[in-house]
């Protein structure tokens, strides 16, 4: 089982966490997740973009089409207030979950 398989469940958390730093477009979010995790985590576009649109439909992020310097259209996502709340909840959940796993592994 590859390490990215764990990722799916935590994808929302990764996206929300990245957007909490600053608004960003899809490519930027992907790069940032890759860099910060030191290449350990890589999110495929096929799951990143549907996830972004799902989060937007749920009101956790909002998006805006912008035109960049060389006239390229980019969609920039930003965290909504609801998204920030959700991030806090998910972060706490994840901490609890990973702590439990670590204890379990240490006990074994």
Partner 1 sequence: MLVAILTRLRALLQRGRVAREVDDELQFHVAKETESNIKLGMTPTEARRTALRALGGIEQTKETIRDVRALSIDGIWRDLRYAIRGLSRVPGFAAVGILTLALGIGANVAILGVVDTVLLRPLPYFEPERLVAFTASDMKTGAEYEIFGMPDIQDLRAEKDLFEGLAAYQTTTAVLRGDETVERVKARQVSGEFFQVQGVRPQTGRWLASEDPPATVVLAHDFWRRRFGADTNVIGRTLELVGARHAIVGVMPPGFAFPADADMWTPITVRPFMTQRGVRAIQAVGRLKPATTVSEANIRMAAWSKRMALDFPRPHAAIQTRVLPLHDALLGSRKLPLVVIFGAVVAILLITVANVAALTSVRGTQRRAELSIRASLGAGRAHIVRLIMAESAVLGAAGGGAGLVT
Q: Which stretch binds partner 1 (CB under 8 A): 2-10, 16-24, 41-49, 87-95?
A: 41-49
Q: Which member of 1, 57, 104, 108 binds partner 1 (CB under 8 A)?
A: 57
Q: Which member of 53, 78, 90, 94 binds partner 1 (CB under 8 A)?
A: 53
CA 92 to chain centre: 15
Min CB(53)–partner 1 separation in Å = 5
Q: Which member of 7, 11, 26, 43 binds partner 1 (CB under 8 A)?
A: 26
Residues comprising the chain, all counted? 108
Q: Which member of 21, 40, 82, 100 binds partner 1 (CB under 8 A)?
A: 82
Q: CA 58, CA 107: separation in Å to the nearest integer?
A: 39
Order of all β-strands in the sheet with 73-79: 24-25, 73-79, 61-67
Min CB(103)–partner 1 separation in Å = 31
Q: Which residue in the block uniquely carries the two structure tokens 């990722």?
A: 7
Decide if residue 46 touches partner 1 (CB under 8 A): yes
C-alpha to C-alpha distances, 70 to 48, 74, 93, nearest whole angstrom: 25, 11, 42
């Amino acid at each position: 089982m590859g390490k990215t398989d764990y990722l799916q469940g935590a994808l929302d958390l990764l996206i929300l966490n990245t957007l909490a730093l600053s608004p960003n477009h899809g490519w930027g979010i992907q790069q940032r997740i890759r860099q910060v995790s030191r290449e350990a985590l890589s999110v495929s576009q096929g799951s990143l973009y549907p996830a972004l649109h799902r989060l937007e439909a749920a009101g956790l992020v909002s998006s805006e089409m912008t035109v960049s310097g060389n006239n390229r259209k980019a969609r920039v996502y930003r965290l909504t207030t609801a998204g920030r709340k959700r991030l806090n909840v998910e972060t706490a959940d994840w901490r609890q979950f990973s702590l439990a796993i670590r204890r379990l592994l240490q006990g074994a």
